[in-house]
Every structure is written in structure tokens, then in C-alpha cells.
């Protein structure tokens, strides 16, 4: 997937730190104002464990890092117990507010767990 060539791609920024996730959680807001072009978001997840586990991950944005709303079209495919997943989505930086975060929603009937994380890659804006 081509992101562009005008500037170097930055090291990944964690929107959801890789860990065993056992309950729904909101990631910490990340300021994307210093980036330009496209934001590449990648979900890494092992297969879920427990009874009928599901993991839904979406991106939200906020102008003030306080009140967040869903970003249209920025949703990963639901992860289940069927197998490991690596999926990426691309969001135009100009289509989101200053702050973004990942939202992880865990479902299942008995101790659902996913070893997962979400990272952001982007290009620094030139001065």
C-alpha cells in the first residue's frame, strides 16, 4: 500500500498498546496535527479465546481530546476465534480532527480475550 513519497514515514505510534485485552477499552488520544496525507492504521490480533469471542475495533476523532466521535468508514473487520488477523485501513488526515484514538469492543459469553494492538503510521508535515 503506497502512502506517499514526499516525507519519511514515522515510527509507529500505538493507539492501543499490544496486550491481552479482556474488556472493552478506549485508547489514548493521539495528536495527528503534525502529520500530512494519509494515516495508516494497522490492527494486529491473535485469535480470540473464550466462548464465542468477538473483537470490534474502530477509529474515533476529537477536536479537543475530550469528546470523541466515530470516523466514518474507519472500522476494522470483526475478529473472532477463527484465526490471527493483521489488517490495515487508510484514513485521510484532513478528514479527521486533531486527535484520534482506537476503540476496542470485546464480546463473548465466557472470558473473551484477544492479544491485540493498533498502530498508526504517518508522514510528518513539512515546514
Task: List, for residues 11-26, the tens digit of each pLDDT value.
Answer: 689 999 999 999 999 9
Q: How many domains does the chain have?
A: 1
Q: What is the CATH number of the domain that holds 75?
A: 2.60.120.260
Residue 34 lies in a domain: yes
54-76 pLDDT, tens digit per residue, is 999 999 999 999 999 999 999 99
CA distances from 48 to 60, 79, 80, 111 (A): 23, 7, 6, 10
User: What span, in angstroms and rounded, lies between the C-alpha atoms of 49 and 71?
Assistant: 28
pTM: 0.89
User: Where does residue 18 fall: left (phi above 0), alpha (psi -120 to 50 degrees), or beta otherwise?
Assistant: beta
Q: Are 45 and 84 in contact (CB under 8 A)?
A: yes
Domain range for 100 is 13-124
Residue 53 lies in a domain: yes
First to last CA, the chain: 25
Amino acid at each position: 500500500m503506497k502512502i506517499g513519497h514526499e516525507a519519511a514515514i514515522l515510527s509507529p505510534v500505538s493507539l492501543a498498546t499490544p496486550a491481552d485485552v479482556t474488556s472493552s477499552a478506549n485508547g489514548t488520544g493521539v495528536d495527528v496535527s503534525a502529520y500530512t496525507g494519509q494515516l495508516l492504521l494497522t490492527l494486529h490480533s491473535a485469535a480470540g479465546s473464550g466462548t464465542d469471542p468477538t473483537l470490534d475495533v474502530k477509529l474515533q476523532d476529537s477536536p479537543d481530546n475530550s469528546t470523541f466521535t466515530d470516523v466514518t468508514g474507519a472500522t476494522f473487520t470483526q475478529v473472532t476465534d477463527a484465526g490471527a488477523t493483521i489488517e490495515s485501513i487508510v484514513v485521510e488526515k484532513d478528514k479527521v480532527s486533531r486527535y484520534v484514538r482506537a476503540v476496542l469492543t470485546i464480546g463473548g459469553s465466557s472470558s473473551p480475550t484477544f492479544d491485540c494492538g493498533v498502530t498508526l503510521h504517518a508522514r510528518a508535515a513539512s515546514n
